[in-house]
Amino acid sequence: MARNYELDDTDRKILALLIEDAKIPYTEIARKVHVSGGTVHVRMARLEELGIVKGATLKLDYQKLGYGVSAFLGIYLLKSSVYASVVEQLREIPEVVSIHFTTGAYGVFARLVCRDTQHLRDVLHDKVQLIEGIERTETLISLEEAMNRAIQLQ
């Protein structure tokens, strides 16, 4: 249903402000977009109902919270039919922060956040490698995240 909805300039301006700062009050958005607070509220409710907006999240600095290792995990599946089961089990691992069904060599690509390399090793050995349906994995440790942003709406 969301694919058929065309964003207008007001929607784009509202979303652009929220992308920049998800905590900005609707009253301030209304002032900047030159509409009423009620208009912002109604538009946001509609965008949520359509599934375009799926809530707001906090952006955390994991390193400052003691999670200094970010890694990407390429997962080879035994067969594609185990995808749903593997994803369901990966969701149960708190260190897994994103999961993607991909084309190419990997069936699944995931991102993990761990305290250190020993923690990462433990998660891989004691959790990920025990998931039925995973043939093997390849781990890439991120040395630095140079950018992480939302797309600019056109």
Question: Quick check: is 22 in a domain?
Answer: yes
pLDDT of residue 154: 66
pLDDT band at 2 (very low <50, low <70, confident <90, very high): very low
Whether pLDDT at 77 is above 90: yes
> Whole-model pTM?
0.82
The CATH number that applies at residue 39 is 1.10.10.10
CB-based burial label for 29 (10 Å; 0-12, 13-18, 19+)? buried
Q: Domain check: are 102 and 32 in the same one?
A: no
Q: Domain check: are 69 and 128 in the same one?
A: yes
Q: Domain check: are 66 and 138 in the same one?
A: yes
Q: Domain check: are 12 and 37 in the same one?
A: yes
How far apart CA 44 and CA 81 sit, in angstroms, is: 38
Q: Domain check: are 73 and 132 in the same one?
A: yes
Range of the domain at 135: 62-142
3-state per-residue secondary structure call for 13-65: HHHHHHHHCCCCCHHHHHHHHCCCHHHHHHHHHHHHHCCCCCCCCCCCCHHHH
Question: Quick check: is 150 in a domain?
Answer: no
Q: Please, are residues 123 and 93 in contact by the beta-carbon 8 Å criterion? A: yes
Give me the sign of the Cα torsion angle 32, 35, 38, 39.
negative
Question: Quick check: is 154 in a domain?
Answer: no
Question: Quick check: is 149 in a domain?
Answer: no
